[in-house]
Structure 1
């Protein structure tokens, strides 16, 4: 039996592949390399360049490798881009996910883990935001992911498919062993951008809004180390294989840091002063987003080990120096 990892050549997916291989799993990766890198996939994993919207390809892979679980990372993730190109996001994130789920049902794949997002909450009324909070996404990105959650919910009722949807908060950092990290050009993740600026790879960076109703006027996010996020996926896979119920779970630490606090951490790690410029707010950005993180610990027994902003930034900076 094998685990099919979509988007396994990307930032988060490549960490997942390493973790699965270390656990002794057979792994097959499908990635169209639009943002991922072939070099990020270890030779021990089977790799196929292709699209999750290609039903015939997915069907063949599931049959050839005896897939018993899908971990679905492939998708588009930039909030402002989704506002400019909503139909592109609904195609790549929702329509293609529908194809993947349909092929999993046809192949009788019993387990499915989905990379969802805290953007499904939109501008939450209370912090931290729990899984039962109103779902009011304010961007096509968030809506496209929520629609996939709904498809999984309804499919699990109609077919013998169990799933875990993990709602990511802000993923950052890099593999502690230095094997993989965030390599995507023109990335928009704050810590990635700030590390590039600290190393002279870009001419400073912009702070998008200083007039939010937060402690220092900048947006606050719950930053989670990518290795802890991957640990949650491994816990979810073991949960499902042990007969656990389907679940939708937040994946964050339960506390946040502002944009300015993140930039201070980057300056400490790099020993420099960043060139920071003020800019208008970006469409679709919520002022604050912090995970209610109790349920994932209760359901999966998840225990993070990298809950430290300075550590997250240091690992991201170390990876950036290698690129």
Structure 2
């Protein structure tokens, strides 16, 4: 097997590339480097600079490297940006996937792992979200991920491609400091950024119907997420993934935003109380995964806790941005 990882130099992609390479899989990365960092990749993983929107490049890469499976992570992923630029999100996330799947089918590649998101569920209003919970995304980003799942399954059925769709919950942490998230778009680096600028963390709303009034989320360590991709790829490689499979990737445990900020304060030593601001539109009170199907179908369960996520992310923050 040779696996192509699109978005392979990104925060999540580089973790997946490293986990698969360390497990003995043959991998190469495709990345346009709009957000990717080549230095994140292990030296043994080749990097092709380019986009999944470039069908001719994909054909050449598939042929030259004899690709037999694809892990597709390349996508735009900021909710607010998707609201402001919906056509860009549909063009890149869905259009890029159309081009990629056409090339996959044309090359006779029979295995495909798709990076999806818990954003496909929207605000389901249930204690635990299972894969059978109805999908009702509330922003263009989530819509493109749900449309992507539909497209992946349809192409799989039409062309005999075995597929796995992984619905990520909230990703945090780093397997090594140099692999840490360098963006300031998710809650953990957003709090780090505030503290580094000598400002109090912000919490958006403390009047939700939850134990402490703040939103409750399921946080997953990026190293656990990378291992889930490895498990999905190996299931497909072993022939146990005929047809399609969709699984949640989370810990199955909820942590409130206030609770997470408290852990960040303990790890960083900056325990100043957070500022409470108005709710943000579209924030669900609770979004926690049922992880049972991932355990049953992939033999995978998360092994790392929230403190380990925060400690590893803080180490990466200090490396990239200084203390």
Separation in structure 2 between the aligned mates of residue 156 and residue 202 of structure 1, nearest angstrom: 51
**Using the alignment, how far apart are the partners of 2:197 and 2:116 within structure 1?**
30
Q: Which residue of 1 aligns with 2:225?
A: 229
1:251 equivalent to 2:249? Answer: yes
- How many residues are treated as equivalent by the alignment? 318
| 1:258-273 mapped onto 2 (5 Å cutoff) | 258-273=256-271
Q: Is the 8 A contact 1:9 1:31 kept in 2?
A: yes
Q: Which runs of 5+ in 2 are unaligned?
A: none
Q: Which runs of 5+ in 1 are unaligned?
A: none
Alpha carbon RMSD of aligned pairs, Å? Answer: 1.5
Partner of 2:65: 65
**Could you tell me which residue of structure 2 aligns to residue 31 of structure 1?**
31
Alignment of 1:95-134 (within 5 A): 95-134=95-134
TM-superposed CA distance for 1:211, in Å, is 2.4
Conserved in 1, the CA contact under 8 Å of 2:5 and 2:28? yes
Shift of the alpha carbon at 1:179? 4.1
Displacement of 1:226 in angstroms is: 0.6
Q: Confirm whether residue 315 of structure 1 aligns to residue 312 of structure 2.
A: yes
Q: Do residues 240 (structure 1) and 227 (structure 2) align?
A: no
Q: Distance in 2 between matches of 1:217 and 1:279?
A: 13
Provide Cα deviations, 1:218-265, integer angstroms capped at 9, x if missing partner.
211100011111111111011111112320000001111111001000
For the 8 Å contact 1:130–1:291, the answer to whether it is kept is yes
User: Residue 288 of structure 1: which of 286, 289, 292 is its match?
Assistant: 286
For residues 122 and 109 of structure 1, the distance between their equivalents in structure 2, rounded to whole angstroms, comes to 32
* Match of residue 207, structure 2, among 211, 222, 230: 211
Is the CA contact 1:83–1:283 (under 8 Å) kept in the aligned structure 2?
no
- The 1:113–1:201 alpha-carbon spacing in structure 2 relative to 1, beyond 3 Å, is farther
Which whole-Å CA distance do the structure 1 matches of 2:8 and 2:156 have between them? 24
The CA deviation at 1:149 is 0.2
Q: CA contact under 8 A between 1:80 and 1:282: conserved in structure 2?
A: no
Q: Tell me whether 1:181 sits opposite 2:180 in the alignment.
A: yes
